[in-house]
Amino acid sequence: MIFHTTAQEWLAQTIGTTTNQLQAVPLKGSTSSSVYLIQQANRPQQFVLRVLDNPDWLAEEPDLAEHEAAALQEAQKTGLQVPGLVAYTTDEVGFGAPVVLMTFLEGQINLQPTDFASWLDCLAHELALIHQHNAPDFPWQFRSWAQKEGLIPPTWTNKPEMWQRAIERFNGSEPDSPTVFIHRDYHPTNVLWQDGQISGVVDWINACRGPAGVDVAHCRANLVMMFGLAAADHFLTAYCQLAPAFTYDPYWDIDGVIDMAFPQPTFYAPWQEFGLKRIPQQTLHQRIDAYLESLVQIN
């Protein structure tokens, strides 16, 4: 085992086994905490352990373990395939940080689908189902990850006037939107697939109540950078067809762009870990500019 004896004992006691039966395997794809697959010798059941060992994130949100635990319990109410909460602790118990232990979901991240249109439709469908849950008593509320202070067009853009228009729109008031249960970090590397179908949605630590458009926009910003504008537009069209009560407002897309592409769009390392070829910085710039231009043209 790679954990301190105290941590091993906590795991063994929580799962109901002995320390010599446990094995921890680091999982790829996580950038803000350490995530491990917990296996047991001669037992089929597996678990996933998140160690919240990012001190900056923990300093900003000291309730992360409590938040994820509550989010997993709330997500279970959607009736979808999501990890189940096993246990969590805000004490270090030998890990050096708070931890959350959850059930393991079968499936793989798929960034190279054979039927791209169907893949986008499925992503939209799953998100629409999540948003059918209102979660009226869930205490965590949406807040933007984009900073409004000091925003100016980035130095890399060829269209600074367009960026200025987008910034002015973003500095205006947020649209009046119904509040639902949102994943808050919904994108292709948080969705698992098996036999061509979605088998689960993971990474609920940021879940909160907020506008559905926030989730749609965050996924669209990821799709734009990964695949281009057409993919993001296909996803939006599919989502709107599946959620007829949804009212689209480009404000949230602008929020998502500023969050992910200001001051610089970044190739997300897990994309490459899961099979996406490295995208040149110039291509990311071009894709973001094209996306933002499409947004500011919407009245």
> Could you report how far apart the first and last alpha carbons of the chain are, in Å?
57
pLDDT score, position 92: 80
The pLDDT tens digits for 268-293 are 999 999 999 999 999 999 999 999 99
| 139: alpha, beta or left? (left if phi > 0; alpha if psi -120 to 50) | alpha
| Beta strand extents in 136-291 (DSSP E only) | 179-182, 191-194, 197-201, 208-211
Using alpha carbons, select from 213, 1, 185 the residue that is nearest to residue 75: 185
Whether the ω angle into residue 263 lies within 30 degrees of 0, i.e. cis, is yes
CATH 3.30.200.20 placement within the chain = 5-103
CATH 3.90.1200.10 placement within the chain = 116-296
Residues 5-103: name the CATH superfamily: Phosphorylase Kinase; domain 1 (3.30.200.20)
Tokens of 284: 């990311």
Residues 134, 117: Cα–Cα separation, whole Å: 28
- 43 — pLDDT class (breaks 50, 70, 90): confident
Pick the CATH number of 116-296 from 3.90.1200.10, 3.40.190.10, 3.40.50.2300, 2.40.110.10: 3.90.1200.10
What's this model's pTM, rounded to 2 decimal places? 0.96
Using alpha carbons, select from 7, 37, 34, 28 the residue that is nearest to residue 19: 7
- 1 — pLDDT class (breaks 50, 70, 90): low
